[in-house]
Chains A and B, each alone.
Chain A
């Protein structure tokens, strides 16, 4: 109340539902005393949060704080900007996929690194606020260069434009070429510097401006002005139609965020542990992981349930990935609960009758193939429940969660 809190971020790990209750009470209390202060709460994934809080990077960020408080900060930041926060941990710590500890670790790391690199660059990075771990994922940069950028920024203040980035020690022409388009500057000298237009293509924008006799500020975000322009008119030997078309799109909608809208699942009140589940219950949940044999769904009871591949849809499903993705919000019906073995059997065919489980049978079962199955902390992110006032960025899956909203720290 004192600090004007508006949003509470709750981790989905141990004690999550209890914390949630506490937050509900706190919100009621605030509403009673200060009705003008609107407070919302959201549950976020804490997959890998403990990995972060125990890391050397977290220690450097918060030398004063206890490990558990570092974890709390991380959980809050995951709501503010999941991508910027999640790049600080090894993607493996999120625990998506099947048998990730059993597979070739080199190949896995290569694939995950490539995915993170693609995600970070698809969204772009604010060079004036980004951390070293985020910057080092930018095309052309590495840890040493990322550190140099941050040191330069700390010593000389924010970069006023992209051209200044060249002054960073050891950042040469090649690196600038590779990185410049993905590094964004908000509120700098040149409005183009906050777009994905590469500085090498600025002459194309100047040609466009000359043609329509307008300034850059007059056209950015002004689709009406740009709509009638034909890309062919602005090409040259280096920049062809595809690039010019993309420049026009970018000018129309500068700083577009490629990440889909934020969706949230609502866990049912009063359903908090395995014993609260009954066959036949229909619940909303979040897909936490997809394996060849089916999908794991978090329904808010600290143990993910399994929708067997045969229960994912009314038609034959060959590959569960065709039907569900991590982060997707789904309606499921409880088929069977085995409290002793901590197993929940679910179906997405809501007209299935409990007991007629299609999962029993000849097919050998998975061997806790979900690496996160028993380890809450390794679970992929759960898209949080959104505050109603403001559409929040989406986290539709582990990596898309990493993608959710690029807005750099406010």
Chain B
């Protein structure tokens, strides 16, 4: 069935996986190690559960199926971890502290968050702004909010047509210089793993999913979605069937789904998540000359970047959880081999 990842992972990584699975299943590590060895040799779950009871200490097929799934996930995780470490090392940016954090990541999600700043990406707006030499402007305003944004920005105006191997630079006025500086800071904030984790937790714990009907779709055809035309429910409590209904409605272009903190909190100014970002990066609104601009950066970071990114991610999480629930075979007729039977 599921052949656990055939690519090899290091022995050290393997040693981490076994006790973890043992803990999750509530069985002994030696049992897990024995089952993993049998699976790796090409033994099947039915064979192991029926004919290798002594070797695994009586693991039944339900245990073995879960074990097989987790083994696959954790091996993929280890492979990804190794690939990420190699990539960052190659860029010469792997510090001991970063290595430690990456080694400690327990989920694929955490790994990807940590990798975000080092991930080779398309030329981003922040990248373009850095190429236009706007990073000192961003840093300057961020470090010393007493500076006047407009005056500072005026020092960075620069327009150059594209030439051999060099992209064009287009900073004709203070407004575009400040936009570039904003993009640099926004990217930096949005790639702070710790901040991402804080906001993700908040949006998951307090998140409210709302759905509305797309204009012109309130026809009889889509009548079956009418319960979702003005619907809201906390993301953590949506049962799987409602979640799947929402996603079906969205796929069919009938529903629009949003994730927020609920009407009351979303109406607070500044939005609680914007306040969280500001507090995390150390921006305060104390009426200094750059404070309004800096708060605007936080606002932009949330509204345009992080809210979107986290909404997509958490809705995927909701969808995956709902799917897993729908797929989970709960009507497996008997646990293991202890069953009622009829003799012929």
Using a CB–CB cutoff of 8 Å, the interface residues on chain A facing chain B are 96-100, 102-104, 107-108, 110-115, 117-119, 121-122, 139-140, 174, 177-178, 181-182, 196, 198, 200-201, 238-240, 242-243, 246, 253, 255-261, 290-293, 321, 325-326, 364-369, 391, 393-394, 396-400, 403, 407
Contacts and interface: CB of A to CB of B under 8 A. Distances in A.
Contacts of B269: none
B175 interface: no
A273 B341 CA distance: 37
B187 to A, nearest CB: 31
B342 A369 contact: no
Give the 10 A-B residue pairs with the shortest CB-CB distance, closest first.
A364-B227, A121-B46, A103-B323, A99-B244, A240-B54, A242-B53, A139-B44, A367-B245, A400-B333, A139-B46
B116 to A, nearest CB: 24
A182 B342 contact: no
Contact of B45 (A118, A261, A291, A399): A118
A326 B244 CA distance: 21
Query: How many interface residues does chain B have, given as a range?
Result: 35 or more
Given A243-B53, A364-B231, A182 B327 contact: no
Interface in B213-250: 224-225, 227-228, 231, 239-242, 244-245, 247-249
Given A114-B1, A117-B1, A118-B332, A239 B239 contact: no
Contacts of B325: 292
B24 interface: no
5 contacts: A114-B2, A115-B329, A121-B44, A139-B44, A201-B51
A393 B43 contact: no
A103 B1 contact: no
A326 B227 CA distance: 27
Given A103-B327, A365-B227, 16 more contacts: A99-B245, A99-B322, A104-B320, A108-B327, A121-B47, A178-B44, A253-B341, A256-B342, A256-B343, A257-B341, A258-B337, A258-B340, A259-B342, A260-B333, A292-B325, A367-B225
A258 B43 contact: no
Given A102-B247, A121-B50, A321-B330, A366 B1 contact: no
Contacts of A112: 329
A154 B276 CA distance: 73
Contacts, number: 171
B2 A110 contact: yes
B329 A139 contact: no
A281 B35 CA distance: 53
Contact of A242 (B54, B245, B327): B54
B95 interface: no
A174 B240 CA distance: 42
B327 A102 contact: no
Nearest to A179: B47
Contacts of B341: 253, 256-260
A122 B326 contact: no
Contacts of A261: 342
A304 B168 CA distance: 66
A255 B344 contact: yes
A118 B61 CA distance: 8
A257 B342 contact: yes
Given A257-B342, A326-B331, A99 B47 contact: no
Q: Which of A107, A111, A115, A196 has most B Cβ within 10 Å? A: A111
Contact of B329 (A111, A196, A260, A369): A111
A30 to B, nearest CB: 29
A261 B344 CA distance: 11
B162 interface: no
Contacts of B166: none
B324 interface: yes
B151 interface: no
A369 B245 contact: yes
Nearest to B233: A364
B340 A99 contact: no
A119 B65 CA distance: 13
A115 B46 CA distance: 10
